[in-house]
Amino acid sequence: MLSITPIYAALIAFLFIALSVNVILQRRKGKISVGDHGDKAMIKAMRTQANCAEYAPFALLLIAMVELQGAEAWLVNLLGLLLLAGRLSHAYGFGKTPQTIILRQIGMLLTFLAILVAASAGLILAL
């Protein structure tokens, strides 16, 4: 049974909703109904949201598998915290104007670390 992963999934879902609202606000501000119209702020808002959508589900799936395989709670929490911190850092650093490159880089590093450790732990637990 999953008891830890849903907490991180919910927190990341809140982040994704916030990023989605930012896209909607940019669309209204720029009067852009479809696409980005070459608007740099619109492109940035869309890519910030899309990056979260590209990485978070895969990482959460791996974390859930690790939890379902009986990993210790500390490991599942560590993976969730790495992912959450990574997604928050990336969204803030990438979405800010001008970008805070170091936060963007730290965000991706933490996200990749969560994915790599979850994949490794899942493989080890499966064997």
Give 56-67 pLDDT, tens digit per residue.
Answer: 999 999 999 999
5-31 confidence digits (pLDDT tens): 999 999 999 999 999 999 999 999 999
Residues 6+ positions from 111 with CB-CB distance below 8 Å: 55, 59, 82, 83, 86, 87, 90
- At residue 79, the pLDDT reads 98
pTM: 0.95
> How many folded domains does the chain comprise?
1
- A 10 A CB-CB count for 8 gives 24
Q: Which domain holds residue 93?
A: 5-126
* Residue 39 C-beta-side C-alpha neighbours within 13 Å: 17
CATH of the domain at 109: 1.20.120.550
What pLDDT digit, counting tens, does each position of 25-39 carry? Answer: 999 999 999 999 999
- Residue identified by tokens 């606000």 is 25
Q: What pLDDT does residue 58 have?
A: 98
